């Protein structure tokens, strides 16, 4: 899709700029080295010519003669010494230039570096439910409010990593699934992540863990890889039980968005212990860090390919 091609194009162009800068710098360093070597050869020839013209002995007949030759060279041709000092200064300047170029290249390789404001990757972080649709219930909490709390933390962590973030829902209001998808698509977000909580309607209150949904039927979007990375990183940060990746085209928000998309159920509010964890700010921070890191790896670590097993263990 367009948004994926655009982000890929930015990364390729950034790498090309860095490579061109490195090539120019290597060429400059080579020219400086050749010029410095030429200067040294010229200075050596000129010094010998001066010594021959003044009738001074060659600098090969002992320590006393060498000292005399050095004095004569300094008296007869002080410009040679100044030229050598100038070469040393040029070398130091070249080293400083190399260091500055290296630091600039490192800064340009960071996510969002070198991009104009408004050009960083845009992530849609959608807090599920809200308003009259509170979602499932836990002890003293609703799914809608837990989703929103985690979504704001994800937004903060993504912005720290250099992303822009849009949130379809930013307060306790109701938005239809069609409105959520329309907002994400109209903003041309580069990825969409929907945050939800789970519940078990049976008598077993011990059911717990994280599961992540995606639409694998749409091959034009890399939904599966996004889901895998977010799933894996959130499990690693939270230590929660793994419940699996679920391939389904039935969820409207992940099947109708135009960018890579997934929906993560971060826990069960029907489980008293997990409900207490999900209500705690420290645990929410860990969940949010996992989601943000998964998104970061999706866009900026090309080697972060995950197999089915790697996503779970």
The encoded tokens of residue 144 equal 């809608």
Q: Which of 83, 108, 133 is the last residue of a domain?
A: 108
pLDDT, one tens digit per residue, over 128-154 is: 999 999 999 999 999 999 999 999 999
- pLDDT at position 107 is 53
How many other C-beta atoms can be found within 10 angstroms of the C-beta atom of residue 184? 27
At 31-83, the pLDDT tens digits run 767 887 878 888 877 777 777 776 655 544 444 444 444 554 455 445 545 54
Q: What is the pLDDT of residue 306?
A: 56
CATH of the domain at 230: 3.40.630.40
Q: Which of 77-86, 214-223, 301-310 has the lowest mean pLDDT?
A: 77-86
What's the CA gap between 227 and 243, in Å, rounded? 13
Neighbouring C-alpha atoms within 13 Å toward the C-beta of 38: 6
- Examine residue 191 and state whether it is found in any structural domain, yes or no: yes
Tell me the range of 33-47, 233-247, 296-310 where mean pLDDT is highest.
233-247
Shared-domain flag, residues 135 and 278 = yes
Q: Above 60 in pLDDT, residue 221?
A: yes
Q: What are phi and psi of 79, to 5 degrees?
A: -65, -30
Mean pLDDT, the chain, whole residue set: 80
pLDDT at residue 21 is higher than 70: no
The model carries a pTM of 0.64
Domain extent at residue 18: 2-108
Tally of structural domains, the chain:
2
Within-domain flag for 182: yes
Cβ–Cβ < 8 Å for 277, 283: yes
Residue 195 neighbours by CB distance under 10 Å: 25
By the 8 A CB rule, do 261 and 229 touch? Answer: no
Domain match, 42 and 190 both: no
For residues 269 and 288, what is the distance between their CA atoms, to the nearest angstrom? 17
Last residue of a domain, one of 78, 108, 138: 108
Q: Among residues 243, 256, 239, which one has the least CA distance to residue 290?
A: 239
Do residue 135 and residue 200 come from a single domain?
yes
pLDDT the model gives residue 38? 79
Q: What would the mean pLDDT of 302-307 be, rounded to a whole number?
A: 56
Report DSSP state, residue 57.
P
């Amino acid at each position: 899709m367009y948004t994926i091609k655009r982000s890929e194009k930015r990364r390729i162009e950034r790498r090309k700029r860095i490579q061109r800068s490195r090539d120019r710098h290597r060429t400059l360093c080579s020219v400086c080295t050749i010029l410095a070597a030429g200067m040294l050869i010229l200075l050596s020839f000129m010094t010998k010519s001066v010594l021959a013209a003044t009738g001074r002995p060659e600098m090969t007949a002992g320590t006393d003669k060498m000292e005399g030759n050095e004095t004569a060279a300094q008296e007869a041709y002080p410009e040679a010494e100044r030229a050598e000092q100038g070469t040393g200064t040029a070398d130091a300047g070249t080293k400083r230039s190399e260091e500055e170029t290296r630091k600039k290249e490192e800064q340009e390789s960071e996510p969002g570096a070198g991009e104009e404001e408004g050009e960083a990757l845009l992530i849609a972080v959608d807090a599920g439910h809200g308003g009259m649709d509170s979602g499932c219930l836990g002890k003293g909490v609703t799914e809608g409010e837990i989703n929103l709390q985690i979504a704001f933390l994800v937004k903060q962590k993504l912005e720290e990593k250099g992303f822009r973030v849009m949130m379809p829902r930013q307060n306790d209001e109701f938005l239809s699934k069609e409105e959520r998808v329309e907002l994400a698509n109209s903003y041309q977000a580069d990825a969409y992540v929907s945050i939800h909580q789970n519940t078990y309607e049976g008598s077993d209150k011990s059911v717990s863990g994280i599961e992540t949904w995606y639409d694998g039927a749409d091959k034009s979007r890399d939904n599966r890889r996004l889901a895998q990375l977010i799933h894996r990183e959130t499990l690693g940060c939270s230590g929660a039980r793994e419940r699996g990746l679920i391939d389904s085209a039935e969820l409207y928000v992940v099947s109708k968005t135009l960018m890579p998309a997934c929906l993560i159920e971060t826990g069960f509010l029907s489980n008293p212990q997990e409900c207490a964890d999900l209500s705690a700010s420290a645990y929410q921070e860990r969940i949010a860090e996992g989601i943000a890191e998964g998104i970061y790896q999706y866009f900026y670590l090309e080697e972060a390919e995950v197999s089915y097993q790697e996503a779970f263990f």
